[in-house]
């Protein structure tokens, strides 16, 4: 009987449907004594032996963790981004890595717009003032009819563009791989990154964290942006240089920023929280009931497909199958 270790914190908390997928396919779920928390490298190494499959959340699945596994065949990411998984080490050991693309795209797109509206109208700051028994006049800016720059036009970026159309926003995008029909239909203008930053009232990030995108937005990029612009990030924290972000917000180089992700989570460096023009949420963009249920079922099905030798369309390192 194949065994599965589940470390994704939210997995199974909404319903038992995903666990039913395992049971119906004869897979044994290994007890996780740390359920509900992000596991450290040491904790993962402690549990990974004798396991055929790992359903991972944001745990650091390092080369050491992979090296400690003696029969691991598949790492199923509960979500899309795999920057915390050493895919190279997994591939070298013949371990397949899968993810769950698109299933949480609407949830993240909704959150992107929630953050955009919140920073534009200074909603958290206004609420904080009321809690202090104040009733101030707070002036915000409109989102309607503004220019939105999308850094990344994948599944999430496209859904943000659809929502932006309802606000009659002009949409700029920076992306190498073009979906011409979508771009033409939605009248999206493709421009170089610097032009996007220079012309956008709101800039929203929707690219994965890779060596090429790490610190993509830093001091030079903030110098280009308008002083009235706001930066939204629901992708990955490492894409933005947070020290440069603090300086840009503090000095007024940009008007505001609203993030759901940081380079280091939970937050340790608290300088950003001292700023009235910064909003932070605890990496919850993908966490809606609907998105969680879909992600659970797909991440479980990915495990079943790989272990049973069925076709799995969500493998990100197909070369591992030939090892």
pLDDT of residue 177: 63
Domains for the chain: give ranges and CATH numbers: 3-101+289-322 (3.40.50.720), 105-280 (3.40.50.720)
Q: Tell me which of 121, 198, 214, 283 is the catalytic residue.
A: 283
pLDDT in tens, 139-163: 999 999 999 999 999 999 999 999 9
84 catalytic? Reply is no
pLDDT in tens, 271-283: 999 999 999 999 9
pLDDT of residue 119: 98
| 126 touches 138 (CB < 8 A) | yes
DSSP summary character for residue 27:
P
Whole-model pTM: value is: 0.91
For tokens 């995903």, the residue is 18
Range 283-292 average pLDDT:
95
Q: Tell me which of 199, 206, 236, 242 is the catalytic residue.
A: 236
pLDDT of residue 179: 85
pLDDT in tens, 6-20: 999 999 988 899 999
Rounded-to-integer distance, Cα 41 and Cα 9, Å: 15
Average pLDDT of the residues of the chain? 96
43 catalytic? Reply is no
**pLDDT at residue 178 greater than cutoff 90:** no
pLDDT in tens, 58-105: 999 999 999 999 999 999 999 999 999 999 999 999 999 999 999 999
Q: Tell me which of 185, 265, 319, 321 is the catalytic residue.
A: 265
Angle at 265 between CA 262 and CA 266, to 5 degrees: 125
Runs of H (alpha helix) within the chain: 17-24, 41-48, 63-68, 87-92, 105-121, 123-131, 155-166, 180-185, 193-199, 219-224, 242-251, 289-308
316 to each of 22, 74, 137, 266, how far by Cα in Å?
22, 11, 51, 27
122 catalytic? Reply is no
pLDDT of residue 217: 98
């Amino acid at each position: 009987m194949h065994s599965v270790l589940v470390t994704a914190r939210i997995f199974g908390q909404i319903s038992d449907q995903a666990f039913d997928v395992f049971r119906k396919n004869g897979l044994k779920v290994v007890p996780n004594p740390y359920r509900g928390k992000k596991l450290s490298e040491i904790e993962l190494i402690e549990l990974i032996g004798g396991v055929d499959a790992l359903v991972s959340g944001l745990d650091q699945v390092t080369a050491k963790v992979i090296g400690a596994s003696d029969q691991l065949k598949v790492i199923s990411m509960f979500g899309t981004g795999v920057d915390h998984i050493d895919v190279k080490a997994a591939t070298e050991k013949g371990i397949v890595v899968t993810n769950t693309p698109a299933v949480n795209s609407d949830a993240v797109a909704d959150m992107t717009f929630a953050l955009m509206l919140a920073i534009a109208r200074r909603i958290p700051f206004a609420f904080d003032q009321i809690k202090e028994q104040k009733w101030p006049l707070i002036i915000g800016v409109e989102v309607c009819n503004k220019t939105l720059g999308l850094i990344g036009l994948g599944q999430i970026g496209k859904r943000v563009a659809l929502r932006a159309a309802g606000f009659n926003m002009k949409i700029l995008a920076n992306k190498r791989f073009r979906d011409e029909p979508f771009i033409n239909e939605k009248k999206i203008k493709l421009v170089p990154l610097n032009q996007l930053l220079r012309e956008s009232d709101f800039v929203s990030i929707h690219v994965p964290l890779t060596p090429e995108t790490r610190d993509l937005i830093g001091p030079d990029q903030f110098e280009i942006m308008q002083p009235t612009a706001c930066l939204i990030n629901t992708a990955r924290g490492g894409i933005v240089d947070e020290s440069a972000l603090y300086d840009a917000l503090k000095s007024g180089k940009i008007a505001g920023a609203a993030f759901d992700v940081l380079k280091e989570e939970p937050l340790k460096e608290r300088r950003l929280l001292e700023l009235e023009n910064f909003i932070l949420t605890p990496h919850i963009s993908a966490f809606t009931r609907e998105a969680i249920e879909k992600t659970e079922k797909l991440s479980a099905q990915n495990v079943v497909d790989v272990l049973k030798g069925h076709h799995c369309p969500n493998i990100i390192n197909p070369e591992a199958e030939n090892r």
